[in-house]
């Protein structure tokens, strides 16, 4: 797959503070790329460089194979974490104004806005002032303005901030739909469950350095420990627990079941397989629960940051 956005060895300092240190990323066309990291890690600095709000001290950024230039801003839609709508302007008037700044003529902008307002069921907001809306309602307007001109690259910085679960799910589905229609997305968030649901590829920045980068599923395979969550029904739980702990590396497990059987985490060596474990367990009793423990995006985030 071809690359839409590439940052090569980007560094940025502010006085004595290093915000980014030789960071490189490559975002594939048609993907959702998760840009992750603790507060102050450097994510927002990189996003501002891509949007040409600030410039790198060293390194280069390319959009669709071309060195990033001022005119490329028309090909980028940016939803910042800190919202920037004019509170006393009416919703429709402001949305039309911002759409025209992105190169749409008034007639086309209004046509697209009415389509989006109908899709998100916010048509009756057109003549309301921004200050009359809740944070989540205003967030919907800014989302629409961000995507309206159908840019090549969409950058969402904490896009679910201020949303209740229902509206967060609506926006999540819209992001997925935009990806299906060919948009490329950079997605920055602290909500790891959203990373699981949306991202194909992630990069993790910590203390100005990129410490992890790759396909999310490939990274999960890299971090998994060959550990299985096991539930067993038996007449003699202490004896079975002792038998398993002598043969395998075990630890207590906590998961919900409909019975009160034995619950263990069992870690296998590299030479042992899931099939071998399951076969052994079935020879010793009734297996009621058998699940491989795959690390979540949150688990990987915490472990990588601690290790770094």
Predicted confidence (pLDDT) per residue in 208-267, tens digit: 999 999 999 999 999 999 999 999 998 899 999 999 999 999 999 988 877 788 999 999
Could you identify the residue written with the tokens 């901030």?
A: 161
pLDDT tens-digit series, residues 29-86: 999 999 999 988 999 999 999 999 999 999 999 999 999 999 999 999 999 887 778 8
* Spans of all domains in the chain: 3-221, 225-292
Confidence of residue 21 (pLDDT cuts 50, 70, 90): very high
d(CA 32, CA 11): 24
What mean pLDDT do residues 279-298 have?
93
C-alpha distance across the termini of the chain, in Å: 30
Could you identify the residue written with the tokens 């990189």?
A: 46
Task: Please tell me whether residue 17 adopts helix, strand or coil conformation.
Answer: strand
Q: Is the pLDDT of residue 307 over 90?
A: no
pTM score of the predicted model: 0.87
DSSP state at residue 11: E
Q: Is the pLDDT of residue 1 over 90?
A: no
Residue 240: its pLDDT value, please? 93
CATH number listed for the domain at residues 3-221: 3.40.50.300
205, β-bridge pairs: 210
Beta-carbon contacts of 41 under 8 Å, excluding residues fewer than 6 positions away, are 205, 206, 207, 208
Nearest to 60 by CA among 19, 14, 26: 26
Q: Is the pLDDT of residue 161 over 90?
A: no
What mean pLDDT do residues 90-94 have?
93
Residue 164: how many other CB atoms lie within 10 Å: 11
Could you identify the residue written with the tokens 């071309």?
A: 66
């Amino acid at each position: 797959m071809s690359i839409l956005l590439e940052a090569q060895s980007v560094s940025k300092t502010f006085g004595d503070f290093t915000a980014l240190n030789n960071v490189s990323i490559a975002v594939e066309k048609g993907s959702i790329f998760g840009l992750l990291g603790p507060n102050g890690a450097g994510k927002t600095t990189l996003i501002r460089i891509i949007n040409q709000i600030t410039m790198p001290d060293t390194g280069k950024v390319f959009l669709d194979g071309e060195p990033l230039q001022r005119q490329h801003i028309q090909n980028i839609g940016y939803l910042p974490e800190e919202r920037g709508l004019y509170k006393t302007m009416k919703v429709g008037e402001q949305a039309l104004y911002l759409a025209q700044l992105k190169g749409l003529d008034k007639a086309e902008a209004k046509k697209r806005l009415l389509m989006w307002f109908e899709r998100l069921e916010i048509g009756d907001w057109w003549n309301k002032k921004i200050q009359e809306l809740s944070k989540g309602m205003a967030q919907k307007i800014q989302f629409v303005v961000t995507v309206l001109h159908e840019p090549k690259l969409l950058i969402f910085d904490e896009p679910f901030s201020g949303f209740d679960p229902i509206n967060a799910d609506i926006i999540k589905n819209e992001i997925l739909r935009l990806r299906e229609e060919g948009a490329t997305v950079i997605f920055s968030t602290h909500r790891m469950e959203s990373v699981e649901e949306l991202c194909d590829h992630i990069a993790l920045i910590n203390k100005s350095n990129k410490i992890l980068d790759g396909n999310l599923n490939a990274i999960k395979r890299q971090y998994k420990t060959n550990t299985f969550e096991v539930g067993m029904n038996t007449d003699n739980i202490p004896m079975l627990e002792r038998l398993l702990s002598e043969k395998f590396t075990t630890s207590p497990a906590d998961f919900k079941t409909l019975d009160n059987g034995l619950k263990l985490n069992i870690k296998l060596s590299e030479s042992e397989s899931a099939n071998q474990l399951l076969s052994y367990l079935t020879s010793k009793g009734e297996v009621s629960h058998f699940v491989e423990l795959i690390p979540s995006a949150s688990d990987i985030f915490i472990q990588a940051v601690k290790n770094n």
